[in-house]
Amino acid sequence: MAAPRRLPAAAAALLLAIGSAAAAVPEPEGYRQDDYRADVPNTVAGGLTIHTKALEALLRHGRAVPIDVLPAPRRPAGMRPGQPWMPEPHRSISGSLWLPDVGRGALSPDLEQWFRDRLSLIAAGDRNRPFVFYCLSRCWMSWNAAKRAASYGYHRVYWYPDGADGWEKAGLPTAEATPEGPAATN
């Protein structure tokens, strides 16, 4: 029996690159509207994709604002009025703001205006203030939020697709978070 032929290294690399490109998830023109926990693209229009080591370095320099967009837990519909409800604590990357629901595909006019106003307040008029949007790994909500912030005219928008779970998996610090805004009161 003849030994199997081996591909030259350059040919193997080319096939790997073609396979990776074919598997890449394309960016939709608008915002992702549903199935938020699915494979995500490698890029985000108007922003830069950043991964754990680069994010760690960016946060070390102190001006970047990490923003967790994971939805806040909702009180279960069938609970009696007055019945105690204690949602599990949510952990975010240390130093983050938690702005729940701003990463949904469609925002109510009130939530969208609140998001615009909140970013403006945080940036203090500086459109170059770096913002880092994340939720969980394989989560389109952070992609939507980053794209939306870029559409508002912010120039240093970062998207961290590894999410809070990727950060935690790398052994980096997290802290219990408190949700802000209209979505936090439901």
**Strand extents, DSSP E, 71-173:** 90-93, 97-98, 131-134, 157-159
Q: Is the pLDDT of residue 56 over 50?
A: yes
| H or E element, residue 8 | none
HSE (CB half, 13 Å, CA atoms) of 55?
30
Task: Write down the pTM of the prediction.
Answer: 0.83
pLDDT of residue 186: 53
Alpha-carbon distances of 33 from 107, 121, 132, 186, rounded to whole Å: 10, 27, 21, 21
DSSP 37-58: BS---S--TTSEE--HHHHHHH
CATH fold for domain 37-71+90-185 = Oxidized Rhodanese; domain 1 (3.40.250)
User: Of the given ranges (17-26, 55-64, 144-153), which has the lowest mean pLDDT?
Assistant: 17-26
37 strand-pairing partners: 139
What are 7-54's pLDDT values in tens digits?
444 443 433 444 444 458 999 999 999 999 999 999 999 999 999 999
- Helix, strand or coil for residue 134? strand
What's phi and psi for 40, nearest 5 deg?
A: -115, 160
3-state secondary structure of 128: coil
CA dist 135 and 176 (Å) reads 14
Residue 48 CB burial class (10 angstroms; 0-12, 13-18, ≥19): middle
